[in-house]
């Protein structure tokens, strides 16, 4: 068996295990999602394997491949798993297919989910964000249109015990550092970021005896980690001691690395010119950094609110697990809506009975007895 065939067999096994873990059952439901490459090839296939009535998967030309090649790969792999008859690959976001769908995923080629798309959807349709709710970006989904139509939008709790993606963040940083030539034995890291996205890797490095300092812009810090927290004055005083700076800030839009940032890049260049900068998330000025000749990974830096290095970088298990968890959220919510439950009842039920994550701004007026109670 050739190496790429072994890789595909491994992915098929991971898909089936993920379906089993989340007890995913999309029987009777129609799904509108994307067809893509790499690990995302399996999003429509996973839905079909979970007994979806039908899956519409939209694709387009991209740097990863032509739409014709994506359709070919999707249907070939679906055929291997005997679900190709349940999948239709589309080259446009067809209104009639949207109107038949119970679940519309907030994934690559489906986005943006516009007011026009929402107007085509069933009033009982559900949109899973396929990630944490706080990663919802206004340009990707018209939340107001969903509110007005009574369409449930839910995020996925990536820290749910069955998924536990945040625990993988330390391994993701390690993989990058290993590929950049670090051993971590004797290296000193500066990790910059707030909340659990940094609490988890900090604990990982502490437990593995890696030398680390941490900057956080709030007080959401476990007691065990407080002695590793450094303020700006301490960081600037010790800039020469760091081998790598990891930026992972999703909570606050703070200027972290630039000419005038929390760490001025001209000063960094002067004191520590060979330091490695790793950008996972957060506000940095790529042009300022590269102008000083500092080493930055990756070269394609995404703006605040986006991840420059996603969990997909670690391999298929993270991506496929997240997709299975997100489809489970949608399955539970869709079942509620089709049984006649209100929007608020559906959200509360999904939060209790799936890896759902509440989207702020969704139907908040309902708590005060708004009209959506009747939907």
Predicted confidence band of residue 374 (pLDDT cuts 50, 70, 90): very low
pLDDT at 211 over 80: yes
Domain co-membership, 283 together with 328 = no
Instruction: Say yes or no: 97 and 185 in one domain.
Output: no
- Do residues 197 and 281 lie in contact, with contact meaning Cβ atoms separated by under 8 Å? yes
Tell me, yes or no, whether 204 and 93 share the same domain: no
- The per-residue pLDDT for 253 is 95
Which of 260, 282, 311 is the last residue in one of the domains? 311
Per-residue 3-state assignment (H helix, E strand, C coil) for 226-264: HHHECCHHHHHHCHHHCCEEEEECCCCCCEEEECCCCEE
Quick one: which of 6, 326, 366, 268 has its CA closest to 135? Answer: 326
- Domain co-membership, 293 together with 216: yes
Residues facing 297 on adjacent strands:
278
| Lowest-confidence region among 1-5, 13-17, 70-74, 149-153 | 1-5
- Indicate whether 96 and 129 sit together in one domain: yes
Q: Whole-structure pTM over 0.75, yes or no?
A: yes
* pLDDT, position 144: 95
State whether 236 and 183 are in the same domain: yes
Residues 281, 191, single domain; the answer is yes
pLDDT for 229 beyond 90: yes
Best-predicted range by mean pLDDT (33-37, 130-134, 314-318, 360-364):
33-37
Q: Are residues 238 and 355 in the same domain?
A: no
Same domain (yes/no): 301, 175: yes
- Name the DSSP letter for residue 359: P
Q: Give percent of the chain with pLDDT exceeding 70.
A: 95
Is pLDDT at 371 greater than 60 in this prediction?
no
Rounded mean pLDDT of 74-89? 97
Domain hosting 243: range is 167-311
| pLDDT tens, residue by residue, 332-370 | 999 999 999 999 999 999 999 999 999 988 765 544 333
Q: From 311, 331, 349, give the residue that closes a domain.
A: 311
CA–CA gap between residue 206 and residue 225 (Å, rounded): 8
Helices (H), the chain: 3-21, 42-49, 67-80, 95-100, 115-120, 143-149, 169-179, 196-207, 232-237, 265-271, 286-291, 316-338, 343-353
R_g (Cα) of the chain, nearest Å: 22
Asked whether residue 311 carries a pLDDT value surpassing 50, the answer given is yes
Which CATH number characterizes residue 205's domain?
3.40.50.720
Q: How far apart are CA 345 and CA 352, in angstroms?
A: 11
Residues 171 and 144 in one domain: no
pLDDT digits (tens, 9 = 90+) for 95-114: 999 999 999 999 999 999 99
pLDDT one-digit tens code per residue, 166-203:
989 999 999 999 999 999 999 999 999 999 999 999 99
User: Pick the residue with more confidence: 8 or 361?
Assistant: 8
Strand order in the sheet with 295-297: 211-215, 188-192, 244-248, 276-281, 295-297
What φ, ψ does residue 369 adopt, rounded to 5°? 85, 25
pLDDT digit string (tens) for 240-284? 999 999 999 999 999 999 999 999 999 999 999 999 999 999 999
pLDDT of residue 367: 43
Provide the pLDDT for residue 360.
87
Q: Per-residue pLDDT for 317 more than 60?
A: yes
**Beta-strand pair 152-156/356-357:** antiparallel
Among 289, 311, 333, where does a domain finish?
311
Residues 245 and 119 in one domain: no
What is the rounded average pLDDT for all residues in the chain? 94
Decide if pLDDT at 375 tops 50: no
* Secondary structure of residue 274 in the 3-state scheme: coil
CB-CB contact of 37 with 70 (8 Å): yes
Provide mean pLDDT across the span 109-136: 96
Flag whether pLDDT at 204 surpasses 70: yes
Same domain, yes or no, for 251 and 150?
no
At 3 the pLDDT is 64
What is the Cα–Cα distance from 27 to 47, expressed in whole angstroms?
Answer: 10
**Is the pLDDT score of 372 beyond 80?**
no
Backbone phi and psi for residue 17, each to the nearest 5 degrees, phi listed first: -65, -40
Q: Domain total for the chain?
A: 2
Sheet holding 54-58, edge to edge: 87-90, 54-58, 30-34, 103-104, 126-128, 152-156, 356-357
Q: What is the pLDDT of residue 6?
A: 86
φ, ψ of residue 295 to 5 degrees: the values are -80, 125
How far is the C-alpha of 126 from the C-alpha of 341, rounded, in Å?
13
């Amino acid at each position: 068996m050739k190496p790429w065939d072994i890789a595909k067999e491994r992915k098929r096994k991971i898909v089936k295990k993920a379906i089993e873990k989340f007890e995913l059952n999309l029987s009777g439901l129609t799904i509108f999602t994307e067809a893509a490459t790499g690990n995302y090839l399996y999003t429509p296939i996973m839905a079909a394997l979970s007994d979806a009535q039908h899956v519409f998967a939209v694709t387009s030309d991209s740097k990863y491949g032509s739409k014709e090649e994506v359709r070919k790969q999707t249907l070939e792999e679906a055929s291997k798993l005997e679900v190709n008859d349940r999948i239709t690959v589309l080259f446009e976001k067809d209104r009639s297919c949207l109107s038949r769908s119970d679940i519309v995923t907030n994934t690559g080629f489906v986005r943006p989910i516009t007011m026009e798309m929402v107007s085509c959807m069933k009033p009982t349709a559900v949109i899973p964000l396929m990630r944490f709710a706080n990663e919802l970006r206004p340009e990707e989904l018209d939340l107001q249109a969903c509110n007005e139509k009574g369409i449930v939008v839910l995020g996925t709790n990536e820290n749910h015990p069955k998924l536990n993606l945040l625990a993988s963040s330390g391994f993701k940083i390690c993989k990058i550092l290993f590929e950049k030539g670090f051993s971590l034995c004797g290296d000193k890291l500066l990790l910059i970021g707030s909340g659990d996205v940094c609490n988890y890797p900090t604990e990982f490095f502490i437990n593995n005896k890696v030398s680390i300092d941490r900057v956080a812009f709030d007080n959401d810090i476990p007691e065990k980690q407080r002695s590793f927290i450094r303020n700006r004055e301490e960081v600037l005083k010790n800039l020469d001691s760091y081998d790598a700076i990891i930026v992972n800030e999703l909570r606050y839009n703070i200027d972290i690395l630039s000419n005038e940032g929390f760490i001025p890049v001209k000063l960094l260049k002067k004191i520590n010119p060979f330091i490695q900068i790793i950008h996972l998330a957060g506000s940095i000025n790529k042009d300022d950094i590269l102008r000083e000749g500092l080493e930055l990974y990756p070269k394609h830096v995404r703006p605040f609110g986006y991840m420059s290095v996603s969990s997909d970088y670690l391999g298929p298990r993270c991506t496929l697990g997240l997709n299975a968890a997100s489809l489970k959220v949608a399955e539970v919510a869709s079942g509620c809506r089709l049984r006649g439950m209100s929007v608020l009842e559906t959200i509360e039920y999904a939060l209790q009975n799936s890896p759902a994550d509440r989207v702020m701004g969704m139907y908040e007026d309902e708590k005060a007895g708004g009209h959506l109670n009747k939907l």
